[in-house]
Chain A
Amino acid sequence: MTISAKGGRSAKRLIGAIAVVASLGISAVACSGGGDTSATGGDGTPQPGGTMTVLLDAGFAGGWNTGLDPATSNTTGSNLPQNSAIFGGLFTLEADDDGSNAHIQPNQAESYSWSEDQKTLTVKLRQGITFSDGTPFNAQAVLWNWIRGLNSGSSGLVQLDLDSSAGAPTNLSEDFMASLWAALPADVDKNAVNADLAAIRVVDDQTITMALNAPNGALVNGFPVANLNLIASPTAYAKLGADAFKLTPVGAGPFVITSDKMSDRLELKKNPTYFKSGLPYLDTLNFQSVAGDQVAYQTLQAGQGDAIEGLSSVTLIQQAQSNPDVGVLLTPPTSPYVVQLNTRTAPFNDIKAREAIYYATDFDAINQGLFKGQGEMSQSFMASGDLFANTKVDGYRTFDLDKAKALVKELGGLKVTLGTTDIVTARAVTTALQTQWQAAGIDVSIDAKPLGDVITTFISGQWESMLQTAGSWDPSVGIGVQVRFGSTSAFSGTPLPQGASSAADALAKKLTTPLDDLLVKAVSTTDTAARQQTYDEIAKYISDQAYGPFGMAFSPAQVVRKGVHAPGLTTKIPALSVNSGVLYDRAWVEGGK
């Protein structure tokens, strides 16, 4: 009896302990309460001091396996947070607090201008900037970086059509050339480097020019996501050597690296020689790579992180929105989903098959079902955050099941393979599309593959339809409209020009389609109104030709703990490509901690 009683008490204690643990867990999961989603507090006056730890998804911004040297990194476009902190940038994308009036602003550059024929870009640098190693940030340093960026194999470079007809420059010293050759790959094409040097010229200590064969209205807009924006110290490179420089590059940004564990953790401290008086506010800034949204959110809740850049799980975003201890910022999206249709092969070489897909697709329902209505619907490659925002297109074919069924019947049936990148959200969308299309009598099979394989499939041309996103803040930058719909792009399914057997053949024979001509026209001027008109025409053309139905545009959320402030984290800046660019020199924390 005694033993039994002891056992009973033990069991009660055990069950009690389990109940406590369980209730703690439930309260943590539930921790909701309504409230404040601004995450701001105090009087909003920035305070110096303190530390901020930013959590980044290991699969995107939190991966920097190829290092942080702008010339050799292959993740420049996704490592915007690290780059912003280390290098600052010649130009930044800024906006009013609500995300409106987004514009490119000279940062380490003082200004930029175009020649009258709009073929020569002149960039003037601010006076008195030094790299954090004390060496001067001047036009020669920019030239050194740009030439390296164009010739070192980084995927972060901008495609440039440089005009090298001016011949070899004469104002470059032997020391400069020796430093440049030493920093380029051993097997670099010297003729290509010399051609680039002919096109990009140092005018004086603060001025550099870039000559193009044709105007490029998207060039400066693309700087914030390109390695040309990131200027590193040539002296530091020579001192450290290539391998160490990948780990601890030296820039003139607001912070300097104190520790870099690649794709794991990056620790930085305030740059005491930063060129903006009183900035940065923070003493230290850390970037921590984490395994996905769930871990990121839990880490923030555990107090080990102050901000999450780019939380994309809709469920967690909703949970965060109802958590009074954190603030959630949804930035204006710029990249709508699109189902690209390959017009070069059956069945989508027939416009009726393409129309059937348009009529069978109900992206609104998918937006409600999968994205809880958080996505923003668009009928083009532009969303509200775009420089040329236009989400409505005249004559766009909207969901109409009867019309879809009739077209499928007229075609005698329709069998489609729908490709996608093998990530959770994309798979969910393709599964929903499969169900919708099947309701219209279309026989659909899904082909989900890793990104690398999707790229290979695109290049092979052996695909029928692909779920992708298209667009960026400037539609012709990054994975923009040119990449998705230009006939000679490897990632496009629009028709080849008449008389061309392949993209290479079209390029060799200089053949174009009417859409190609529009795409060229859209960047052939720096006049914003003219560009806007052309992008509207392009959206209408794509819609009329039924090259691919567009869906919802969705930006990952910025999530911060209370008391954290930064442009791009707590005020809106449109997503440059996927995530917003955060301006870390103006990041601050209340109470300096």
Chain B
Amino acid sequence: MTSTVETTSIRTEGPQGLLGRVAGSPLLRLVVRRVLIAIPLLLAVSILTFALMAVMPGDPARNMAGMNASEEQVEAVRHQLGLDRPPVERYLTWLGGFVTGNLGKSSVSGQPVAQLLAERMPVTVELVLLAFAVSLLVSLPVALIAARRPGGIFDRVVMVISMTLLAVPNYVMALLLVLVFAVSLRALPAIGYVPVTTDVVANLRSVTLPVLALGLPIACFYARFLRGDLVEQMNSAEYIETARAKGVGPWKVLLVHAFRNSSFGLLTLVGLNVGGLVGGTVIIEQIFSMPGLGVMMLQGVGSQDTAVVQACVFIFAAVAIFANLFVDVMYAVLDPRIRYGSR
């Protein structure tokens, strides 16, 4: 009897209880729906990666065995790596392992992929987060100041510089930064990475140039976008005119009214940029000899180390997908119309 009463009580209280409220939340439904979409997407990425590695020119077994190896030795390596099994079977084996938390072993070094990821992930995560921080810290004030007086000297200089820097590829930017700050000024190291756990200052010194190489082009991109959007808002939006008519000061109009609306666009851009930024680490880590995921993936592709490449691509794809999910959620948090529109 007691239990019946309790059950009834819970059932009755459900829609008003915390769980019920959460379950009924449009935001949560949005998140769940997007996560469910992400799963087949990630599956598709893993299949595509596996297929590309399988059709890539070259013979991983021969690469591993070396030029002097006999055909018998190469066949033995092929068997050891499982390359003599059908691709579908190999993929399903990998997927089975992945789902159960076993990422396999590198076919080159023999080290567990999970261990390699654990060693290298912090480097890439630090690079990406700091690059984002730099891009926002640079772009936001620059865009706001430029938009405050469109066509002014600052605006024009910023636009020219940002256009120039945007045209410079990451790796050229990296080499130029090294040339100036490491070779000429000897102010920062040209290569290498010091973990933050070893020495915080040395860590910051070691990541400064790579972070700038990654973050500055993005900062330019954000600055140009945000400045354009702000100017458009300031020139044509009715609510801006209303605010001005009420006697709100120009900086307040810009920061409080225009920026709030423009931040939606910027947020979208940030989400879209995550994939590109993570991808950019592949080149930057290589140039600065940083032991991160990007270098690991590149080495994996070179040696046709499928387990390593699969894991890296999966992580990169997951980051891009979930960054976009995060942006969508933030949208919904900031603008209830989106949240309820998603029903």
Contact = CB atoms under 8 A, between A and B. Distances in A.
Nearest to B182: A302
A28 B289 contact: no
B68 interface: yes
Interface stretch (B2-10, B128-136, B151-159): B151-159
Given A24-B184, A24-B185, 14 more contacts: A8-B153, A11-B154, A21-B180, A28-B183, A74-B64, A74-B65, A153-B65, A156-B66, A291-B286, A298-B178, A299-B178, A302-B178, A302-B186, A453-B57
21 contacts: A7-B153, A11-B154, A15-B157, A18-B161, A24-B184, A25-B176, A25-B179, A25-B184, A65-B108, A74-B66, A262-B109, A290-B191, A291-B286, A298-B182, A299-B190, A301-B183, A302-B183, A304-B191, A452-B60, A455-B59, A455-B62
B152 A7 contact: yes
Contacts of A156: 66
A170 interface: no
A251 to B, nearest CB: 20
Given A28-B179, A298-B179, A452-B60, A491 B67 contact: yes
A171 interface: no
A35 to B, nearest CB: 18
B304 interface: yes
A423 interface: no
A170 B68 CA distance: 32
A419 interface: no
B183 A298 contact: yes
A125 to B, nearest CB: 26
Contacts of A491: 67
Interface string A120-158: 000000000000000000000000000000000111110
Nearest to B156: A11
Interface stretch (B69-77, B228-236, B251-259): B69-77
B178 A303 contact: no
Contacts of B299: 63, 65, 263
A65 B287 contact: no
B109 A66 contact: yes
Nearest to B308: A65
A79 B192 CA distance: 20
Contact of A453 (B58, B110, B178, B295): B58
Interface in A433-471: 449-453, 455-456, 459
A288 B108 CA distance: 20
A304 B190 contact: yes
Given A65-B299, A264-B289, A290-B289, A456 B62 contact: yes
Contacts of A291: 286-287, 289
Interface string B274-307: 0000000000001101010001000100111000
Given A8-B153, A153-B65, A303 B58 contact: no
Looking at A14, A65, A154, A303, the one whose CB has the most chain B CB atoms below 10 A away is A65
A219 to B, nearest CB: 15
A14 B157 contact: yes
Contacts of B268: none
B70 to A, nearest CB: 9
A195 B291 CA distance: 43
Nearest to A64: B109
A204 interface: no
Interface residues of A, number: 57
A371 B340 CA distance: 67
A449 B157 CA distance: 46
Contacts of B63: 451-452
B146 to A, nearest CB: 12
Looking at B67, B108, B176, B291, the one whose CB has the most chain A CB atoms below 10 A away is B67
A452 B189 contact: no
A277 interface: no
B54 interface: no
Contacts of B154: 7, 10-11
A80 to B, nearest CB: 16
A102 to B, nearest CB: 24
A264 B299 CA distance: 11
A159 B58 contact: no
B269 interface: no
The 8 closest A-B pairs by CB, nearest first: A155-B66, A452-B58, A7-B153, A302-B190, A302-B182, A453-B57, A291-B286, A24-B184
Interface string A373-392: 00000000000000000000
A58 interface: yes
A294 B58 contact: no
B175 interface: yes
A27 interface: yes
A451 B191 contact: no
A59 B295 CA distance: 12
A452 B57 contact: yes
A587 B161 CA distance: 47
A67 interface: yes
A243 interface: yes
A593 interface: no
B191 A28 contact: no
A66 B303 CA distance: 11
B184 A155 contact: no
Contacts of B109: 65-67, 246, 262
B68 A155 contact: yes
Contacts of B182: 298-299, 302, 304
Contacts of A288: 191-192, 289
Nearest to A261: B291
Contact of A155 (B57, B67, B180, B289): B67
A295 interface: yes
A479 interface: yes
